Structure 1
Amino acid sequence: MNSRTHTDATPPVQAAERVNIRPMRHPVAVMAAVLIVISGVSLALGMPIDRITQIAIYTLYAAGTNFLIGYLGLVPFGASFFFGCSSYALAIAFGAFGGNEISGLLIATVFSLMLALVIGALILRRKGLYFSLLTLACSQIAFEVAYKWTTVTGGENGLQNITRPWFKSALSFHVFTVAVVLVVSWLLWRVAHAPFGRLMQALRDNEQRVTSLGYDVYTTRLIALLIAGGTIGVAGGLMALLLQGVYANNLNWAHAGDPVLMAVLGGVHQFLGPLWGAITFIVLEDRLSAITENWWLFFAPVIIIMALLSPEGIQGFLRRFGKRSRWTLTRDTIPARPARITPYRPADAGGDDARAVLSVENLSKRFGSIVTQDGISLEVKRNQLHSFIGPNGAGKTTFFNILTGFILPDGGRIVFEGRDITKLQAHKRARLGLARSFQILSVFPNLSAFENVRVAVQASRRQWRGFWRDAYTNDEANDRVWSLLDAVGLADRAADLCAELSHGEKRLLEIAMTLATSAKLLLLDEPLAGLAESDRKVVAALIRRLASSHAVLLIEHDIDRVLALSDRITVLHQGRLIADGLPADVARNPQVISAYLGDASAHAQPAGDVKVIAANDAREDKPAGRTLLQLENVSAGYGGGTVLEGVDLTVNAGEVIALLGRNGVGKTTMLRTITGTLHATSGRVVFDGNDVSAMRPDLINKLGVSLVPEGRRLFPNLTVQDNLKLGARAGGAPLDEICELFPKLRILMRSRAANLSGGERQMVAIARALMVPSRLILLDEPFEGLAPAVVHEVREAVAKLTSRASLVIVEHHAESVLNMADRAYVLVNGRVAFGGSARELAADVALQERLLGVSAGDTEELLRKTA
């Protein structure tokens, strides 16, 4: 398990040997150097130093704005509200009471903080576009007030004659401004690397997961707005001192987007982006406006070109071509890996074994005419593995959502540890000790694997806030993170971004995050889905260990493991409980056999399997068709790293190919290379005589290659019918034929995809691929997370697809696909370790163990023999 190598992902970013950064490579040091250089150039050329002072102020203005955009994912179109109002606060206070530069900045900052607190309490009830428009509306309201309240704001003429008693000269004030900007920028950098800053980034990526860990999303956003508002308030105060006056123009909607524009020009995901954006904005505005009043006609094309060539802005260019320009919003390193990782040991959840940790009484929930819970009552005992099973669509995940507070029930009550939590907010339930994993992967894709787990550990240690201490200097928390990553076999991938992990590795990462919470009750929603057999064994053993010290409520479709692991099993069918008791008793229950397994004989040998085997026998003797797809010595990878190495693969017309291998060996990377979403670094991909190695994905699709992706990837807010119509093209299968293949879809045509079960979503995903005139269909884990009866149904449908197209099926479980296939390929560490008859591989159990089993040493030996 711990021998996992870097395969189906980019090579890791640098794993730090230390947390501290060398001073001359610190981004604030780089900022200081740049401002000093351009100041020196300005003085040497006799240019006004005030222009460089304005650049420094706008850098801080854009940095405060980008604090919300880059770290939290909120775009404030009206950041000028804080900028302009803080300027007026300073000017009005100076006029009434006098003061100096320091007191003026304090007044501007405090006033901006008060505005952020009041306005944030209102507008943070909304996010996305609504948040952006609300901030813009606040800015425009402030402009109207400032422009027309002449007696206080000076109206159109503004307020002048603001004095600078300490820094009267332009040069001395410039030095003061640069110093203030650098200090505040350094404070922002520290906050970004403190526990609170890491929490912001996690919230940016996945609000639901943050809530499930026990964090208060609303309060986090409010505090972030206060920090950003205070930062922008400092910039507004400096601008008033620079101009020695204040004007309503800065509040106008025409200038409201200036800081956002500067952040985008420089790079919203780069800490130094606001600096480059401010320099570009001020210089171009200054030079172009000297030539023409319509300078935006020339400035706008610059923005368009930048957006097309470098979505990460100017800093993106520097990172692409400069070896030392590595700065992003945070460091690209993680804490040093310890010489010896402490083995993970579950913490004892405690409590009286005689009392139930969770009691559900007469719980009910319906969505329109669909009843998902109908009078459910059950108890979950301590130190027990309680499995909650049922066919797809039975309402299991909805039940978990109700328990964790993401959905409120229509009736009944939930009691946890003697406390009624029926109406309690989700994050407060998590803090009480309810932890969960999700059926659909729920991780933080833009954080490293280490950081994903560290955010969960931070939650378990009740470190809700932390604005100063570097998150990576907490050795106790770091050691806990390494233990958890090692427990699921991801210690070697700790520095990799989560987005770059394979699906199975993300599933393992989510399990590690759930374990990090040290909760009293663990709700695990299909934790084994998408895992290779070797990983399933390890994770299943880990879950069994957890049940000795925790209450575990498990949803899982691997019925054999459920029966082997569980202390108690409850079965849900059509929203009602049909069985509850010991595994042996539940397994013999006729209602369970009928509802969950489909029919009494399904568990032993589904009839469909016999048909599939017979079809395979018939195909075994047929001559191979013409070559449809050919990979010739293909290598591919991410960010300069190699995932596939010298792969040769052939698919003939009318053929079914099984593509097998452990998690992370390159299966998904191969599908991406075939479909064109990832281009091969060497070798050729030829489809029907056309070299498609460098072709766009949409053009490859038009040639007849369709992908049924892992995770289904439907459009959740559209109906089933709309999802299918979006993929429809002339020559594809009509809806009537789709409904014959999947009769259930005829009933679900007007249902939103978000409300479908896992099996129903898989049917829609396959059907969507058929709406295209496909000659090659790639199915990525088509049976993942499905109940046995649904697997049987989907397998029969997949078998029928062979009359329409060739198939390449990626699957972890060899036995579920080999009987359907003509030939099989097995990948080990990005190379083909086996390519031949599917029947031969199916019959050779020892070979399957060496290629797909637990032992990594055997597969390495086989690779040496086949090299």
Structure 2
Amino acid sequence: MTYLKHPVLIATLVLIALTGYSVATGGSINHVTQIVIYVLYAMGVNLLIGYLGLVPFGASIFFGCASYAVAFTLGRTFTDEISALIFAGVFSLVGAAVLGAIILRRKGLYFSLITLACSQVAYEIAFKWTAVTGGENGIQNVPRPLFQSAEGFHWFTLAVVILLIGAMWRLVHTPFGRLMQAVRDNEQRAITLGYNTFNVKWVGFCIAGTIIGFAGALLAMLIQGAYADNMSWQRAGDPVLMAALGGVHHFLGPIWGAVTFLMLEEKLSVMTDNWWLFFAPIIIIFAVLSPEGMQGIVQRWLKHDRWTLTRNTVPARPARIEPFDAAPAEHSKEPVLEVRELSKAFGSIVTQDRITLDVHDRMLHSIIGPNGAGKTTLFNILTGLIDADRGQIRFKGRDITKLKAYERSRLGIARSFQIISVFRQLTPFENVRIAVQSSTKGTIPLWRDAHKDEAVCARTWSILDAVGLADRAAEECDALSHGEIRLLEIAVTLACNASVLLLDEPLAGLSESDRVIVTDLITRLSKLRAVVLIEHDIDRVLAISDRITVLHQGKLIADGLPAEVAHHPEVVKAYLGKEKAGKPKERQPIAARVREKAVAANDERPLLDMKNVFSGYGGGTVLEGLDLRVMPNEVVALLGRNGVGKTTTLRTIMGQLHPTSGEVLLDGENIGQMRSDCVNRLGVSIVPEGRRLFPNLTVNENLAIAMRPGGASMEEIHDLFPKLALLSRSKAQNLSGGERQMVAIARALVVPSRLILLDEPYEGLAPAVVDEVKGAVQRISTRASLVIVEHHADEVLAMADRAYVLVNGKVAFNGPAVELANDHDLQDRLLGIAAA
């Protein structure tokens, strides 16, 4: 009985039932025909909204122009309605092709407004070109030779609309229709899989414009005329409203919206000319109670919240899934990827400074470096998401520096993302199938069911099984754990069958068992093709890599075998902030004595106490049972390699992340679930990595926004940072990195802070500026407790009372800062890469 739930059959039965109801109650058959036409209109518009993520406020241009096309030709050029209808469709297709080629170069609100503007231009022409269009009187007395009776034309219209609804249902299940949904969910990811997303949107726009044109043509035949009103801004938004009212994320949603809209309009307009005063509150109620529209209300009642734009099935799982075969690329002894003198800067921030490196076939080449080294930016440049300022990139001997991202992917460069990038509203099976589809040759069919391609589906099952997701193939992505979504991201990357795989932190957020699975998979892949890996798990990187490149502050400081790189002096300095054989710097005696006295005067109650805290992002766990204490007037250094949870700890304290379990106590009060503004008012401030100033405001304005009674005065700020007095009227965007850091620290002081969190306070600063900022940090340590995250260990250990070192979200060291400062072997083991 599954066929009884088929959306096309449901649509047919609903529209036939509506016809029967109208006949039984003596209603107007023409009004029911109008409803049927507007159902098609709304569904055509929703093909753009629901399946491509494009909101056309002016889709009425196709609706109105097609009606004029019929009015001009029916009875003159064409002698029957069918021929005129076909002409209107072709006319709309050509118009959509031309218009789409222009306006699809803009996204979001601009796309919506441009469509509205185009529709309004068409309205003005139709309304004022009286000699041709009849002006406000329109074109009247259009003949209808084949279907002269209202009943006959109604059944003709119903047949055409049902046929087109069936065609749309078929379309959205083809490889192209599924690709439309992938572009809607994550256009950037679709690009990196090798799809020209502009062409996808353009074809989808043309199809939708054609369907809307058919609706406009039918309306012209119904009213036997064409009028400009349908293209005016007052009516242009009607189909969008109908789709939203019914539910844009459901195939049948526009049907319910169109029927409700037109029936209410008819009933209310009879009662009053100001019917919108009654109709608007209904729209508001639906929008508030159910953003998913009428269909969403029903599905929530049935406890089923899934989008129903397509059927929710996947192809039958094979009795035996073939093992994943990562077919080796053609082996070459020459570098498969060559980077020469690559440079990139964002304003004054240099992320790549003349990077030169080679990636060889069938090798695992890892790229490591401290935060902000430029690793992910390098991947973005290599894959074409960002253009380099200077330099050259060659792939298999071919210069690809100017190629677009999808063109590079088609050549054989695939990547994963540091921040998980999948198609969230598609199943895991469909995510991988879309990626497998990208590696197949030829055009993407507009007629074949995507799940009928046995070769593509079989490979999809193999890849899902290889990462352990075969049993979850039909689930919603939101139902997957963070680790499973990370595995899905890797599966999507593998499905491209590329010659070079760029993997950006593939182990992030995975459990140890999943790390072992993925590490083994990466190692096996590197025996068959080139794999470039960015990963902060240094132990694993050194264990599995064939070659390692180290970046620091945009520069390549080491490149070679793991053993050589691990002991490279520049690498040791980048990770530890000093030469391995160096001595720890002397502690500052004045600040230390003041702090020592203040600590002695306080009782043992901690100012901040984190107990067994678990926290992370998007379902992933970064902090695993973290315990951390900060006493009043104490300076705590929070250290660790990249990706171990230092910044996550600060964000959890600050309320930017809420722990999934555990307690964050501030002076005995649990602040774990509080908003950031509430935490700040209790006396916790943060100096974030990257400073995060308001660039268009002056120094004084940045400080004035944060200033509250009890905080430092402007006089105290200028005493601490004399330079800010001179720069008080300068905009933040014009300041140097050091000056911005001074403002960021001052901003934390102008509120009454008991605890100040500093995230990488010396990052990107010149040595002289570091000394100036460091002196200020030492002075403020006498008035508040500090938690300092800094990858240069010696810079912070010299001024800290205690130190915590994190490894994979857990505390690996907790003790006096001087103990860690004097133990070079311990530093190497926990912070550096040599011991690993």
TM-score by length of 2: 0.77
The CA distance in 1 between the partners of 2:491 and 2:382, in whole Å, is 21
SS at match of 2:350: strand
How does 1:158-307 map onto structure 2 within 5 Å? 158-307=138-287
Deviates more, 1:166-175 or 1:359-368: 359-368
- Residue of structure 2 in register with 1:376 after alignment: 355
| Cα deviations by residue, 1:35-93 (Å, 9 ceiling, x for unpaired) | 11121111110000111111111111011111111111111000000000011111111
Specify whether residues 364 and 730 from structure 1 end up closer, same or farther in structure 2 by C-alpha distance, changes over 3 A only. same
The CA distance in 2 between the partners of 1:372 and 1:175, in whole Å, is 65
Residues 758 and 789, structure 2, Cα contact 8 Å, conserved in 1: no
The CA distance in 2 between the partners of 1:59 and 1:316, in whole Å, is 18
- Tell me, which stretches of 5 or more residues in structure 2 are unaligned? 588-595, 613-617, 639-647, 760-787, 817-836
- Residue of structure 2 in register with 1:386 after alignment: 365
Specify whether residues 517 and 246 from structure 1 end up closer, same or farther in structure 2 by C-alpha distance, changes over 3 A only. same
Higher relative contact order (CA 8 A, sep 6+): 1
- Residue of structure 2 in register with 1:396 after alignment: 375
Determine which structure has more spread, i.e. the larger CA radius of gyration. 2
| Cα deviations by residue, 1:614-667 (Å, 9 ceiling, x for unpaired) | x9xx99xx9788999999xxxxxx9xxx999xxx999999799x9xxxxxxxxx
Residues 544 and 565, structure 1, Cα contact 8 Å, conserved in 2: yes
SS at match of 1:193: coil
- Residue of structure 1 in register with 2:37 after alignment: 57
- Tell me, which stretches of 5 or more residues in structure 1 are unaligned? 1-20, 609-614, 632-637, 659-667, 781-788, 804-808, 822-867
Specify whether residues 520 and 301 from structure 1 end up closer, same or farther in structure 2 by C-alpha distance, changes over 3 A only. same
Q: Find 1:577's aligned residue among 525, 543, 556.
A: 556
Residues 100 and 165, structure 1, Cα contact 8 Å, conserved in 2: yes
Give the Å deviation of 1:279: 1.0
Residues 675 and 705, structure 1, Cα contact 8 Å, conserved in 2: no
- Residue of structure 1 in register with 2:521 after alignment: 542
Residues 676 and 700, structure 1, Cα contact 8 Å, conserved in 2: no
Specify whether residues 628 and 30 from structure 1 end up closer, same or farther in structure 2 by C-alpha distance, changes over 3 A only. farther
The CA distance in 2 between the partners of 1:815 and 1:679, in whole Å, is 14
SS at match of 2:336: strand
Deviates more, 1:479-488 or 1:419-428: 479-488
How does 1:650-669 map onto structure 2 within 5 Å? none
- Residue of structure 2 in register with 1:555 after alignment: 534
Residues 55 and 278, structure 1, Cα contact 8 Å, conserved in 2: yes
The question of 1:529 aligning with 2:529 is answered no
The CA distance in 2 between the partners of 1:270 and 1:795, in whole Å, is 58
How does 1:424-823 map onto structure 2 within 5 Å? 424-462=403-441, 465-601=444-580, 750=732, 792=791, 813=808, 815-816=810-811, 819=814
Specify whether residues 117 and 96 from structure 1 end up closer, same or farther in structure 2 by C-alpha distance, changes over 3 A only. same
Specify whether residues 597 and 439 from structure 1 end up closer, same or farther in structure 2 by C-alpha distance, changes over 3 A only. farther
Give the Å deviation of 1:370: 2.9
The CA distance in 2 between the partners of 1:712 and 1:89, in whole Å, is 58
Give the Å deviation of 1:494: 2.9
Specify whether residues 405 and 811 from structure 1 end up closer, same or farther in structure 2 by C-alpha distance, changes over 3 A only. same
Residues 362 and 375, structure 1, Cα contact 8 Å, conserved in 2: yes
The question of 1:104 aligning with 2:84 is answered yes
Give the Å deviation of 1:535: 2.3
Give the Å deviation of 1:536: 2.2
Residues 610 and 629, structure 2, Cα contact 8 Å, conserved in 1: yes
Specify whether residues 327 and 799 from structure 1 end up closer, same or farther in structure 2 by C-alpha distance, changes over 3 A only. farther
- Residue of structure 1 in register with 2:17 after alignment: 37
The CA distance in 2 between the partners of 1:480 and 1:711, in whole Å, is 43
Give the Å deviation of 1:165: 1.9
Residues 61 and 259, structure 1, Cα contact 8 Å, conserved in 2: yes
- Residue of structure 2 in register with 1:664 after alignment: none
| Cα deviations by residue, 1:787-837 (Å, 9 ceiling, x for unpaired) | xx977469999999999xxxxx9998254467489xxxxxxxxxxxxxxxx
Count of residues in correspondence between the two structures: 757
Q: Find 1:124's aligned residue among 104, 108, 112.
A: 104
- Residue of structure 2 in register with 1:832 after alignment: none
Residues 577 and 793, structure 2, Cα contact 8 Å, conserved in 1: no
The CA distance in 2 between the partners of 1:85 and 1:538, in whole Å, is 58
SS at match of 1:383: coil
The CA distance in 2 between the partners of 1:800 and 1:242, in whole Å, is 83
SS at match of 1:96: coil
Specify whether residues 37 and 524 from structure 1 end up closer, same or farther in structure 2 by C-alpha distance, changes over 3 A only. same
Residues 458 and 464, structure 1, Cα contact 8 Å, conserved in 2: no
SS at match of 2:551: strand
The CA distance in 2 between the partners of 1:54 and 1:525, in whole Å, is 54
| Cα deviations by residue, 1:233-277 (Å, 9 ceiling, x for unpaired) | 110111111111110111111111111111111111111111111
Residues 123 and 131, structure 1, Cα contact 8 Å, conserved in 2: yes
The CA distance in 2 between the partners of 1:329 and 1:716, in whole Å, is 42
- Two-structure CA RMSD over aligned residues (Å): 5.4
Identity of matched residues, %: 55
Specify whether residues 751 and 258 from structure 1 end up closer, same or farther in structure 2 by C-alpha distance, changes over 3 A only. same
SS at match of 2:387: coil
The question of 1:344 aligning with 2:339 is answered no
The CA distance in 2 between the partners of 1:561 and 1:202, in whole Å, is 33
Give the Å deviation of 1:768: 11
The CA distance in 2 between the partners of 1:371 and 1:521, in whole Å, is 26
Residues 87 and 239, structure 1, Cα contact 8 Å, conserved in 2: yes
The CA distance in 1 between the partners of 2:207 and 2:515, in whole Å, is 44
Give the Å deviation of 1:505: 3.0
TM-score by length of 1: 0.74
Residues 342 and 355, structure 2, Cα contact 8 Å, conserved in 1: yes
- Residue of structure 2 in register with 1:314 after alignment: 294
The question of 1:363 aligning with 2:342 is answered yes
The CA distance in 2 between the partners of 1:714 and 1:203, in whole Å, is 31
The CA distance in 2 between the partners of 1:440 and 1:458, in whole Å, is 23
What letter matches 2:412 in structure 1?
G
| Cα deviations by residue, 1:687-727 (Å, 9 ceiling, x for unpaired) | 9999999x99699869969999x999999999999999899
Deviates more, 1:171-180 or 1:226-235: 171-180
Residues 728 and 768, structure 1, Cα contact 8 Å, conserved in 2: yes
The CA distance in 2 between the partners of 1:373 and 1:150, in whole Å, is 62
Give the Å deviation of 1:738: 13
The CA distance in 2 between the partners of 1:795 and 1:319, in whole Å, is 59
The CA distance in 1 between the partners of 2:540 and 2:11, in whole Å, is 57
Specify whether residues 750 and 533 from structure 1 end up closer, same or farther in structure 2 by C-alpha distance, changes over 3 A only. farther
What letter matches 1:168 in structure 2?
Q
Specify whether residues 205 and 326 from structure 1 end up closer, same or farther in structure 2 by C-alpha distance, changes over 3 A only. closer
What letter matches 1:411 in structure 2?
R
Residues 724 and 768, structure 1, Cα contact 8 Å, conserved in 2: yes
The question of 1:78 aligning with 2:52 is answered no
Give the Å deviation of 1:425: 1.1
| Cα deviations by residue, 1:415-437 (Å, 9 ceiling, x for unpaired) | 11121111111101100001111
What letter matches 2:459 in structure 1?
R
| Cα deviations by residue, 1:305-348 (Å, 9 ceiling, x for unpaired) | 11111111111111122468976212233334444443323221
Deviates more, 1:405-414 or 1:322-331: 322-331
- Residue of structure 2 in register with 1:840 after alignment: none
SS at match of 2:264: helix
Specify whether residues 318 and 565 from structure 1 end up closer, same or farther in structure 2 by C-alpha distance, changes over 3 A only. same
The CA distance in 1 between the partners of 2:161 and 2:668, in whole Å, is 60
SS at match of 2:19: helix
| Cα deviations by residue, 1:13-43 (Å, 9 ceiling, x for unpaired) | xxxxxxxx92210112111121111211111
Residues 627 and 652, structure 1, Cα contact 8 Å, conserved in 2: yes
